[in-house]
């Protein structure tokens, strides 16, 4: 029997299990994530975050979804990760570089009484190119009409660290579970996250997300960023926006061709898991 030390964290309700692995001893991360993220027989989470060494940044984050699939980037996850490595004193910098599957991201820590009160992440560039999403389309997918299960949707798709598809409309018009049908469309060979976005005003939107590999979540950082970018592209909103998600509030700003995201990150509890 192996004992795994872990920290449970959440960012606007999107929850993660943080595990240190500087020696690379966990070879089967897929199986580990499935076991730990099970909310009945494990700890329960939307995914696991592995803390490990980096040769190109201050630290490296590896993300595995609850179903065992790999994710190159996670907005809420990286805020939790930055808080963790700062407060555990692995990286004692207000501005730290974190290696992810989507490249090196810059995290700015807002410190209060020695703790990371909030985290601002430069999420990098967004991309509407279908080959980058990837999507089987010859042109950008902007407000494209599709029909799934006898229901019409107008979708906008892009790459924001991971694939995202946005559907605009009133929140009550859609059940978040409808996202699973869009996720598995042949249009998206590697599947897609799906965000249902309601425009409240020029500076406020509401977003609920069906996450690829996790299902409905209380928040999605990359999804919030993608929703802001898509809504701005369509002329619905300005460039700095409050994003209301079921688990709280995230602030997203488009700066030139990059996206900045700020929001909370909290430690829920720490413990030991007995791995059979």
Q: Give the residue numbers of the binding site.
A: 14, 65, 75-76, 193, 211-212, 221-222
Catalytic residue status for 225:
no
- How far apart are the C-alpha atoms of 69 and 82, rounded to whole Å? 22
Nearest CA-CA partner of 212 in 161, 174, 265, 151 = 161
8 Å CB contact between 117 and 111: yes
Choice among 74, 80, 197, 225 that is catalytic = 74
257 exposed, middle or buried (CB, 10 Å; 0-12, 13-18, 19+)?
exposed
- How far apart are the C-alpha atoms of 228 and 239, rounded to whole Å? 8
- How far apart are the C-alpha atoms of 206 and 197, rounded to whole Å? 6
Choice among 37, 80, 197, 220 that is catalytic = 220
- How far apart are the C-alpha atoms of 89 and 173, rounded to whole Å? 46
Binding positions for substrate are: 14, 65, 75-76, 193, 211-212, 221-222
Catalytic residue status for 74:
yes
8 Å CB contact between 98 and 73: no
HEC profile for 250-271? EEEEEECCEEEEEECCEEEEEE
266 exposed, middle or buried (CB, 10 Å; 0-12, 13-18, 19+)?
middle
* Helices 221-233/75-87 angle, 10° precision: 130
Residues designated as active site:
74, 220
């Amino acid at each position: 029997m192996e004992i795994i030390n872990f920290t449970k964290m959440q960012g606007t309700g999107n929850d993660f299990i943080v595990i240190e692995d500087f020696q690379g001893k966990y070879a089967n991360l897929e199986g580990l994530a499935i076991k730990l993220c099970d909310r009945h027989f494990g700890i329960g989470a939307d995914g696991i975050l592995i803390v490990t060494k980096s040769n190109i940044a201050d630290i490296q984050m590896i993300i595995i979804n609850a179903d065992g699939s790999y994710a190159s980037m996670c907005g809420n996850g990286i805020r939790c990760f930055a808080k963790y490595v700062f407060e555990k004193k692995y990286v004692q910098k207000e501005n730290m570089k974190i290696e992810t599957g989507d490249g090196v991201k810059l995290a700015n820590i807002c410190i209060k009484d020695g703790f990371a009160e909030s985290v601002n992440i430069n999420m990098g560039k967004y991309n509407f190119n279908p080959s980058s999403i990837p999507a089987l389309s010859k042109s950008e997918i902007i407000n494209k009409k599709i029909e799934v299960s006898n229901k019409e949707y107008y979708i906008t798709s892009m790459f924001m660290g991971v694939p995202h598809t946005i559907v605009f409309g009133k929140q009550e018009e859609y059940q978040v579970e409808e996202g699973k049908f869009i996720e598995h469309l042949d249009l998206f060979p590697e599947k897609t996250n799906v965000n249902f976005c309601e425009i409240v005003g020029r500076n406020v939107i509401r977003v609920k997300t069906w996450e690829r590999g996790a299902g409905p979540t209380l928040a999605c950082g990359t999804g919030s960023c993608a929703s802001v970018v898509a809504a701005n592209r369509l002329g619905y909103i300005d460039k700095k926006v409050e994003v209301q998600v079921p688990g709280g509030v995230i602030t997203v700003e488009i700066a030139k061709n990059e996206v900045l995201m700020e929001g909370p990150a909290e430690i829920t509890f720490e413990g030991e898991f007995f791995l059979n």
